[in-house]
Homo-oligomer: A and B are copies of this chain.
Amino acid sequence: MKLIDGKKVANEIKEEIANEVQQIKEEGGKIPHLAAIIVGHDGASETYVGHKEKACTQVGFDSTVLRFEDDIAEDTLLRKVHELNDNPDIDGFIVQLPMPKHISEQKIIEAIDPKKDVDGFHPINIGRVVIGLPAYVSATPAGIIELIKRYNIETSGKDVVVIGRSNIVGKPISILLSQKADPGNATVTLTHSRTKNLKEVVSRADIIIAALGNAEFLTADMVKEGATVIDVGITRVKSDKTKSGWKLLGDVKFDEVAEKAEYITPVPGGVGPMTIVSLLQNTLKAAKGEIYPKF
């Protein structure tokens, strides 16, 4: 069993980005600038945005956080989005979800200029991913692809089973891995709550992407000897063995599955650390005009 060390890879990539930013600075170029909009005082959202700010600082990006109270009108928020769209100093920005109920998340997302949509949530970017055109890929699937790349895991002709059909993980990673690309060219089966013979389907997989959000769901009897197992789940459960009284569990029963897997991601320290790095990579691409020409 080889552990896929997402934390280590994330740090390597951060270092690579920091070096590139350093070089841009030395050449007198424009420093990549990521902005985030946060509405209200949701604890998790605050934490995420805080991590993103910190990551920007680590790699030398400029970062701006726009904070609004949760009674902000949808119109006002849309105007703020348009201001960021029009601000040439901002290369990319995200709107931290969830939004208060009176605001349509989809309306806000579709108001973001796709060229600055570094979260990859705008339907144009999702559509372009499907067609195989350059696009911002959202953080978790992009992070999974990066891990597969860095560990040289062969996907071409392999049987991949994705568990969970969410818009932000299951669907996009299925599409990406079945594309004519490297990584890609896999035979992908997308499974979900209505799948009847799940154990049988999953046990045929060379690569399993577990993204259903159900702690320790994937057990050893569902896994083929020598499979690669990517665990996207994060569930917080009570624990009397940790200081905080909580611990994080993935969708994979790690200890027993690890004995059969060739490669496996741990939770925490697997896919998780890659997501912020994907956002940094997208922001760098935005600053360099790699996906869409600079305007």
- Give the interface of A toward B (CB within 8 A): 106, 122-128, 130-133, 156-157, 159, 165, 167, 171-172, 174-175, 178-180, 185-192, 194-197, 201
Contact = CB atoms under 8 A, between A and B. Distances in A.
8 contacts: A123-B130, A124-B124, A127-B128, A130-B175, A159-B197, A175-B175, A178-B190, A186-B194
Contacts of A127: 122-128, 130
Contacts of A159: 197
A171 B191 CA distance: 16
In the A-B complex, the 8 residue pairs with the smallest Cβ-Cβ separation, listed nearest first, are A123-B127, A127-B127, A126-B127, A189-B189, A185-B194, A157-B196, A187-B195, A123-B124
A132 B194 contact: no
Given A106-B133, A123-B127, A167-B132, A187 B191 contact: yes
Contacts of A172: 130
Given A123-B127, A167-B131, A187 B180 contact: no
A248 to B, nearest CB: 27
A159 B213 CA distance: 23
A292 B131 CA distance: 22
A130 B133 contact: no
Copies in the complex: 2
A196 B206 CA distance: 12
Describe A's contact surface by its main secondary structure.
mixed
A58 to B, nearest CB: 32
A195 B157 CA distance: 5
A249 B178 CA distance: 27
Nearest to A128: B123
Contacts of A190: 174, 178, 187-188
Contacts of A186: 194
Given A178-B190, A187-B192, 16 more contacts: A123-B126, A123-B130, A123-B131, A123-B133, A126-B130, A127-B127, A130-B172, A132-B167, A157-B195, A157-B196, A159-B197, A165-B178, A171-B178, A185-B194, A187-B194, A187-B196
B133 A171 contact: no
Contacts of A156: 194
A174 B133 CA distance: 19
Contacts of A133: 106, 123
B187 A201 contact: yes
A201 B157 CA distance: 12
